[in-house]
Amino acid sequence: MNRFQGGYAGRILYVDLTDGTIDNRPLPREFAEKYIGGRGFSSRILLDEVPADVDPYSPRNVVVIASGALNGLPMPSASRLVTATKSPMTGALGDSNSGGYFAPELKYAGFDAIVVRGASKEPVYLFIKDGQAELRPAQHLWGCKVHESHQKIVAETNDEDTHVLVIGPAGENMVRYACVVTDKESVGGRCGIGAVLGSKRLKAIAVRGTRDVKIADPPRFKKVIDDYLVSIAGEAWTESLRRLGTPFLTEHRQTLGIWGAKNFQSGIVEGGEKISGEVFRKKFLVKPLGCMACFIRCRRYSAITAGDSPFYTKGPEYESIHALGAKPNVTDPETILRAHYLCDEYGMDEQSAGSAIAMAMELFERGLLKRDQTDGQELTFGNGEALLYFIDKIASRQGFGDLLAEGTKVMGEKLNAEYYAIHVKGLEVDAADPRKQETRALTYCVATRGACHLRGNPYIDEFIKPEEAEAYFGTAAVSDINSLEGKGKMVAWSEDWVTLSDLMGICKFAWYRSRDFSMLVKRGLDMVAEAYQAATGIPMTSREMYRCGERVYNVEKIFNLRQGFGRAADYPPERFFREPLPTGPAKGAVLNREHYDRLLNDYYEARGWSPESGVPTPEKLKELGLASDEIQ
Amino acid sequence: MAKERIWYVEDSENMDQICSRCRMCELICTFHHHGVGNPYRSRIRVVALGKGVDIPVTCLNCEDAPCVNICPTGAMHRPQPDSMVIVNPDVCIGCGMCVNACPVGAVILDPGEGTALKCDLCNGEPQCVKYCPAEVLKLSGSSQFSKHRMKGFARLLQAQTINTETGLK
């Protein structure tokens, strides 16, 4: 019996792999209203279930797979799935977000979330169908790459409409940054979720559902859909993404000189025009793809059909080109696409893999790594063959690949080269070089899952009008990109607002891409609060909606504080303070420690956290309806 | 007035005008007819064949419709000579003969009600056509579709025909 009028399937599936028990529980109403869905569910469940002393690879760690509140409904771009655990990369809260069709399917199968505990002795996979779930043997799938695993499981369920989340060999071998892949193409990349599933010997989760997801007020919901579509139509971002996908950003990064090339030694890529979004479209694009209900269709479906080993792949993303192109300075597009495909096939995060190899390349060039340590490979920047060679070795943890499989933080510790490990809290810096823009640096560093460009939206100051800045952040100075004033508050606000997309299951590209601040507020708060009410029948104002985002962000902060991540963990890698960018349009850009200190203070103050420790004040906790004894 | 139905129309000139497997047509179809989210009750389905081939499939509105011919109760009927074949759910007994007879699989039995479901063109304003982000679903008669195909073929001919003797292209 579903106690919700709509939006929710109304059940959570608890699976204990140690004893094989499966428990199907109702979703508590108060929990749903407070944490909404997706990342809200996963973060809160992890806080409750994973104490500070749990090793990420121990059976006591928990993996949460959660749908957003609007997944499964005809809400534009509501396709996103959250997978979360205590991350082996960081020891902090880790989650990854992926698109595709799995999140809605989970709802059709009757569940809002799956909580996986314990560890199985033998490899198994979980099969969920219309309210029922069972564990099935997976010994015969152990060792299979992603495509093969997927196909075999779909065949076993005897239903082509089955959607499957799998880990690849990298997950089985507990490559620290192993990922999860749904339907062969949608990757939940970061934080090593796949490694934890590997440690639990859970090869896959297959899900099939034919049930309705109800809508409390259909006419009202239809109006929201229509308004939302009007709001994203004609956005320049939407058009760029449709044409080139995320690789359209390559040009943007090169023009600003913030590529993070050669392990962040350079802001530009020599020969960057060879790996631009246009090149990938022209050479490899089969067609654009869209996730469930997507009106943007940014996904690339690409192929290399000539030669000995042809393949089709969903990709590349900008992040693929950044991690497997710019960072190791590889400028052959075919090599990048192949490397991307291999990462997906082995089931590992290409951003961390590319970062690890790029770091090793720098160490090799500096003489800190010798050829006898690198399996005899000439590990220099630009060596695409070495890149492909080590992707194989990482997945199987052979030779030097065994160390690369640990990620840059561990590499830095083991090779006594921590300065060259460009990460925050253990997760490698992605997306772009933050030296040019201090708010970007702040966003990366305070992000609750380690370095991440998607936890906030630090670019608001580029387009916010002075009067909007005054109204929202208390000072018109926020509209001045060269001023630090009010920026801490701006970043904090943007984090809470972006968090809501992960609670709803809506893609960030349908969420935060506008050069009109009022539109961002309208789309990301007003319309979504309206959609949530129309879908669920639960009253929700824009203000309460915002509070839900803030509440979840604080829950994540509390999780990390409990793990010992205090103020010091919110700082960028030393390189960004010490080395100005040497060339290109951003030449001379470097972070200023005093500025950063001030930004961080302002940010903590705006959040209602103590400036020394980052601990939320009792007043803040009370305001958010969180008990003050949560931090132990 | 020729019989109309929903056609899948790719634009060979424009790579972006192609089905991208977003399944919005499925979602909006079920939402329009049943007020819920559930693509598996949709009267149009995107068929994924792999290697980038995704094709939405729905009722062909056959002239000599097997589903109408085989229906034992008259539930499956065509109200006017040039209209869409529709189901009268009050008369339908859910025997599934129409499902069996349909050459393209465009009829399903509703998992909820058990009665036959098929495209009814939403009373003249098909929601899948309206909401398709790629704009590849079109409501039209067969001659308009033929014309579109001819255009594509003509372009192909024009691109390939270079008569070196006459200089005509």
Q: Is A107 on the interface with B (CB under 8 A)?
A: yes
Q: How far apart are CA B125 and CA A116, in angstroms?
A: 45
Q: Which chain B residues are Cβ-neighbours of A104 within 8 angstroms?
A: 37, 39
DSSP state for residue A118 in the 8-state scheme? S
Name the average pLDDT for chain A. Answer: 96
Kindly state the average pLDDT of the residues A625-629. Answer: 82
Kindly state the average pLDDT of the residues A604-622. Answer: 96
Structure confidence at residue B167 (pLDDT): 53
Range with the poorest average pLDDT among A4-18, A166-180, A377-391, B147-161? B147-161
Q: Is A330 on the interface with B (CB under 8 A)?
A: no
Interchain proximity A213–B36, CB inside 8 Å: yes
Q: Is A103 on the interface with B (CB under 8 A)?
A: no
pLDDT at A28 over 90: yes
pLDDT at A174 over 90: yes
Chains A and B form CB pairs within 8 A to the count of: 95
Interchain proximity A294–B133, CB inside 8 Å: yes
Q: How far apart are CA A84 and CA B82, in angstroms?
A: 55
Report pLDDT digits (tens) over A353-390: 999 999 999 999 999 999 999 999 999 999 999 999 99
Structure confidence at residue B2 (pLDDT): 60
Of A287, A292, A296, the CB nearest to B15: A287
Please tell me the pTM assigned to this model: 0.97
Q: Which chain A residues are Cβ-neighbours of B111 within 8 angstroms?
A: 210
For A234: left if phi > 0, alpha if psi spans -120 to 50, otherwise beta; the answer is: left
Report pLDDT digits (tens) over A183-232: 999 999 999 999 999 999 999 999 999 999 999 999 999 999 999 999 88
Q: Is A210 on the interface with B (CB under 8 A)?
A: yes
Helix (H) or strand (E) holding A124: strand A124-129
Q: How far is B18 from chain A (nearest CA, A)?
A: 7
Of A213, A295, A296, the CB nearest to B37: A213
Q: How far apart are CA A606 and CA A629, in angstroms?
A: 22
Of B28, B34, B52, the CB nearest to A287: B52
Report pLDDT digits (tens) over A531-542: 999 999 999 999
Structure confidence at residue A403 (pLDDT): 98
Kindly state the average pLDDT of the residues A596-620. Answer: 96
Pairing of strands B4-8, B137-141: antiparallel
Report pLDDT digits (tens) over B81-131: 999 999 999 999 999 999 999 999 999 999 889 999 999 999 999 999 999
By C-alpha distance, which of A180, A89, A190, A251 is closest to A454?
A190
Residue found under tokens 């963990």: A569
Name the average pLDDT for chain B. Answer: 92
Interchain proximity B22–A101, CB inside 8 Å: no
Of B31, B36, B133, the CB nearest to A297: B133
Task: Using pLDDT thresholds of 50, 70 and 90, give the confidence band for residue A511.
Answer: confident
Of A161, A287, A297, the CB nearest to B22: A297
CB atoms within 10 A of CB A446: 28
Interchain proximity B37–A285, CB inside 8 Å: no
Distances (CA, A) of B89 to B38, B71, B92, B117: 19, 12, 5, 9
Structure confidence at residue A43 (pLDDT): 98
pLDDT at B1 over 50: no
Q: How far apart are CA B108 and CA B87, in angstroms?
A: 11
Q: How far apart are CA A183 and CA B54, in angstroms?
A: 15
Q: Is A282 on the interface with B (CB under 8 A)?
A: no
Q: How far apart are CA A552 and CA A500, in angstroms?
A: 9
Kindly state the average pLDDT of the residues A123-134. Answer: 98
B128 and B44 Cβ atoms separated by less than 8 Å: yes
Q: Which chain B residues are Cβ-neighbours of A301 within 8 angstroms?
A: 52
Structure confidence at residue B165 (pLDDT): 57
Residue found under tokens 């823009």: A437
Task: Using pLDDT thresholds of 50, 70 and 90, give the confidence band for residue A629.
Answer: low
Range with the poorest average pLDDT among A209-218, A221-230, A417-426, A513-522? A513-522
Q: What is the DSSP string of A251-304?
A: HHHHHHT---HHHHTBSS-TTGGGGSHHHHHHHHEEEEE--TT-SS--EEEEEE
Interchain proximity B16–A242, CB inside 8 Å: yes
CA dihedral A318→A319→A324→A329, nearest 10 degrees, is 70
Task: Using pLDDT thresholds of 50, 70 and 90, give the confidence band for residue A514.
Answer: confident
Report pLDDT digits (tens) over A80-102: 999 999 999 999 999 999 999 99
Interchain proximity A214–B18, CB inside 8 Å: no
Q: Which chain B residues are Cβ-neighbours of A287 within 8 angstroms?
A: 15, 18, 20, 52
